[in-house]
Amino acid sequence: MSWRFLIISLLIFAGLATWGGIQAGEWLIAHTPTTANIPNVTEADPPPLVDLAGRPVMRQPQQPLISGAQGVPEKVANVNWEIDAEQKSDILTASSAASLGVTIGTASGRIDAAPIQTRPINPPVATGNTGGYAWEPAFHRAVAQCRTLGFFERPTCLGRVREQYCGPNNAWGKVKDCPER
């Protein structure tokens, strides 16, 4: 078989499939049911409730209530969230007034707590003996060699070198590549 025959036959089959799909769609449109076949609904049933726009009104489903029972919750009363000018000035003066303690609201009442005192964070102070160790150049060469290794070998090598140099020399946190323990 030649490739020309295959391409022509594929085009013919694609055209037949398209024509058949269009014909099947036209037949389905022409033979749609005029009424829905809903079980347990008869002609004597009242029509469904509709709103002013003609859309059916859906009832709210039951849900767990605060009391633990199942039911439809009552409508929540509308709350007026607008703030009067008098209330606004009271709120601004109350929020701007400096208080000595922090008031914490609880279910049983109020608790007055003193503010928490914090210390300023100071950067670490460098000790005067950094860089003066005789073993440091060898340590930094070994660390540099470890950093040239692959992804999986690097952490093991760095840990071994740190244990070899930082541990016996008690340099944890004192030398650049020896983290604090």
Q: Are the beta carbons of 149 and 137 closer than 8 angstroms?
A: no
Q: How far apart are CA 104 and CA 57, in angstroms?
A: 46
Cα(111)–Cα(82) distance, integer angstroms: 29
How many Å apart are CA 106 and CA 3, to the nearest integer?
A: 84
CA distance 121 to 126: 15
Determine the pLDDT at residue 97: 56
pLDDT of 95: 65
CA distance 50 to 148: 76
Give residue for tokens 């300023």.
120
Tokens of 65: 């209530």
In degrees, to the nearest 5, what angle opens at C-alpha 21 toward C-alphas 17 and 26?
150
CA distance 160 to 179: 13
Rounded to a whole number, what is the distance in angstroms from the first to the last CA of the chain?
78
**Looking at residue 180, what is its pLDDT?**
85
103 membership: H or E segment, kind and range? strand 102-105
pLDDT given for residue 124 in this prediction: 56
Separation of alpha carbons 10 and 22, rounded Å: 18
pLDDT tens for the chain, residues 1 to 181: 799 999 999 999 999 999 999 999 999 999 988 777 777 777 787 888 888 888 888 888 888 888 888 888 787 778 888 888 888 888 777 766 545 455 555 555 666 667 777 777 766 555 545 456 788 899 999 999 999 999 999 999 999 999 999 888 888 888 888 888 7
Q: What is the pLDDT of residue 77?
A: 74
